[in-house]
Structure 1
Amino acid sequence: MSLVTVLIIAAILLLIVLSAFFNGSETALTAASRARMHALEQEGNPRAAMVNRLLSRPEKMIGTILIGNTLVDVLASALASGVAVLLFGEVGVVYATAVMTLMIVIFAAVLPKTYALAYSDRMALIVAPIMRVMTIILNPINIAIEFIVRFFLKLTPTTVDDEANILAAHEEIRGTIELQKIEGSVERNDADMLGGVLDLGDLHVSDIMVHRTKMATIDADDPPEEIVDELLRSQYTRVPIWRDEPENIIGILHTKDLLSALVRSKGDISNLDIMSFAGEPWFVPDTTPLKEQLNQFLKRKAQMALVVDEYGEVQGLITLEDILEEIVGQISDEHDAHDTAIRVQADGTVNVDGTVTVRDLNRQMGWNLPDEEATTVAGLVIHEAQTIPEPGQAFTFYGHRFEILRKTRNKITALRISPADVLAARAARTALQQ
Structure 2
Amino acid sequence: MVFGWLAPPAMAQDVHLGVKSCGSSGCHGQVASSSSPVLLNEYVTWQKYDSHATAYKVLMEPRSQRIAKNLGLPNAHEAKICLDCHADNVAAELRGPQFVLADGVGCEACHGAGAAPWMGLHIGGSPHDQNVQNGLRPLEDPIVRAGVCLQCHLGDDSQFATHRIMGAGHPRISFEMDSFTDFQPAHFVIDDDYRERKKVVDGVRTWAIGQALMVERRMDLLISTKYATDGLFPELAFFDCHACHQPMSSALPDKNGDFPTAWTPRPGTGLGPGVPKFNDANMLMLEIALDMAGPEMVEAMSQNILAIHKGSQTSRAAMVEAAKKTKATARAAVNALAAKEMDAATMKKAMEGLIARGVDGYFVDYEAAEQSTMALGSIIEAMRVAGYIDGAGYKRMSAMMEDVYNAVADDERFVPSKYVAAVRELSAAL
Q: Which has the larger radius of gyration?
A: 1
> Normalising by structure 2, what TM-score?
0.22
Please identify which structure carries the higher strand content.
1
Larger RCO (alpha carbons 8 Å, 6+ apart): 2
> Normalising by structure 1, what TM-score?
0.22
